[in-house]
Amino acid sequence: MYQRIKNKLDMEIIKDFLESEQTNQNVVRRMEELTDILDGAYDGSRGAFDMGGYILFFGDIQTYENHISKIMEFYRLDKDLAEYSNTIEGTAGSTIQWREELYLLSSDDSLVLIYPETAEAV
């Protein structure tokens, strides 16, 4: 399953779950930064269908791989045409790397994907 995070409230609610799952703290901090940016630009009380965008967080590789093509098709996006794609610094020696990708859905709406992948794939 993936989580949709649109504002600081969503982030606060999911943060306890992420910590219980021992999600990399750099990933959690980056998601907090992103929600602060979105809330600052578009208001933290925006609803699910208001402009500004959101984060889709995938907690495991299998969930990401099972759903990414459907998400790309739904939004009519090309996986190779992200506005940017970065590796979120992980724990030394870990076989999992975390990726962050930004896609613009419109001039005022965005989608940020955060997902794990094996270190060899990076």
91 pLDDT more than 70: no
What mean pLDDT comes out for the span 91-119? 85
Q: How many domains does the chain have?
A: 1
Per-residue pLDDT band for 92 (boundaries 50, 70, 90) equals low
From the list 113, 26, 24, the residue with the least C-alpha distance to 69 is: 113
Do the beta carbons of residue 55 and residue 34 sit within 8 Å?
Answer: yes
Q: What percent of the chain has pLDDT over 90?
A: 56
β-partners of residue 104 are 110
Query: Is the pTM above the cut of 0.75?
Result: yes
Do the beta carbons of residue 31 and residue 5 sit within 8 Å?
Answer: yes
From the list 57, 63, 65, the residue with the least C-alpha distance to 13 is: 57
Please tell me what DSSP assigns to residue 7.
S
β-partners of residue 100 are 86, 114
Question: What is the extent of the structural domain holding 116?
Answer: 2-121
What's the rounded Cα separation, in Å, for the pair 116 and 118? 7
